[in-house]
Amino acid sequence: MESLPTTTTKVERRWRSKPLQTSKPSLLLAFFSCLAWLYVAGRLWQDAENRTLLATLLEKNTSQRPKVLSVEDKLTVLGCKDLERRIVEAEMDLTMAKSQGYLKKNQLQQSGSSSVQLLAVIGVYTGFGSRLKRNVFRGSWMPKGDALRKLEERGVVIRFVIGRSANRGDSLDRNIDEENRSTKDFLILDGHEEAQEELPKKAKFFFSTAVQNWDAEFYVKVDDNIDLDLEGFIGLLEHRRGQNSSYIGCMKSGDVISEEGKPWYEPDWWKFGDEKSYFRHAAGSLLILSKNLAQYININSASLKTYAHDDTSVGSWMMGVQTTYIDDNRLCCGSIRQAKICWDSPSLTVVSNSVSR
- Are the beta carbons of 277 and 254 closer than 8 angstroms? yes
Question: At a CB cut-off of 8 Å and minimum separation 6, what does 218 contact?
Answer: 119, 120, 121, 237, 240, 246, 248, 288, 289, 290, 291
Closest to 294 (Cα-Cα) out of 321, 270, 275: 321
pTM: 0.65
For range 269-281, the mean pLDDT: 70
**The pLDDT of residue 317:** 92
- Are the beta carbons of 110 and 214 closer than 8 angstroms? yes
HSE of 57 in the Cβ direction (CA atoms, 13 Å)?
6
At 35, the pLDDT band (50, 70, 90 cuts) reads confident
In the three-class reduction of DSSP (H, G, I as helix; E, B as strand; rest coil), residue 94 is classed as: helix
**The pLDDT of residue 232:** 94
**The pLDDT of residue 93:** 65
Mean pLDDT computed over every residue of the chain: 79
- Are the beta carbons of 122 and 159 closer than 8 angstroms? yes
E strand or H helix at 168: none
Rounded distance, CA 51 to CA 59, Å? 12
Rounded distance, CA 343 to CA 334, Å? 6
Query: Which domains are delineated in the chain?
Result: 108-356 (3.90.550)
Tens of pLDDT, residue by residue over 277-305, are 678 889 879 999 999 999 999 999 888 98
Higher pLDDT, 116 or 142: 142
At 108, the pLDDT band (50, 70, 90 cuts) reads very low
- Are the beta carbons of 307 and 265 closer than 8 angstroms? no
Query: Which whole-number Å values give the CA distances from 182 to 93, 102, 147, 176, in the listed order?
Result: 40, 31, 15, 10
Closest to 340 (Cα-Cα) out of 226, 209, 221: 226
For the chain, the farthest-separated pair of C-alpha atoms sits apart, in whole angstroms, at: 166
Tell whether the model's pLDDT for residue 114 goes beyond 60: no
At 1, the pLDDT band (50, 70, 90 cuts) reads very low
Rounded distance, CA 274 to CA 284, Å? 24
Rg of the chain on CA atoms, in Å:
43
Higher pLDDT, 248 or 95: 248
Tens of pLDDT, residue by residue over 79-104, are 666 666 677 667 666 666 655 555 44
- Are the beta carbons of 297 and 306 closer than 8 angstroms? no
- Are the beta carbons of 297 and 202 closer than 8 angstroms? no
**The pLDDT of residue 264:** 63
At 253, the pLDDT band (50, 70, 90 cuts) reads confident
Rounded distance, CA 22 to CA 32, Å? 17
- Of all residues in the chain, what percent carry a pLDDT higher than 70? 72
Closest to 247 (Cα-Cα) out of 301, 333, 315, 342: 315
Rounded distance, CA 313 to CA 200, Å? 6
Tell whether the model's pLDDT for residue 235 goes beyond 90: yes
Which amino acid is residue 107, in one-letter code?
Q
Closest to 154 (Cα-Cα) out of 211, 215, 111, 209: 111
For range 26-34, the mean pLDDT: 77
Question: At a CB cut-off of 8 Å and minimum separation 6, what does 264 contact?
Answer: 257, 308, 309
- Per DSSP, the chain holds a count of helices (H) and strands (E) of 11, 9
- Of all residues in the chain, what percent carry a pLDDT higher than 90? 43
**The pLDDT of residue 205:** 94
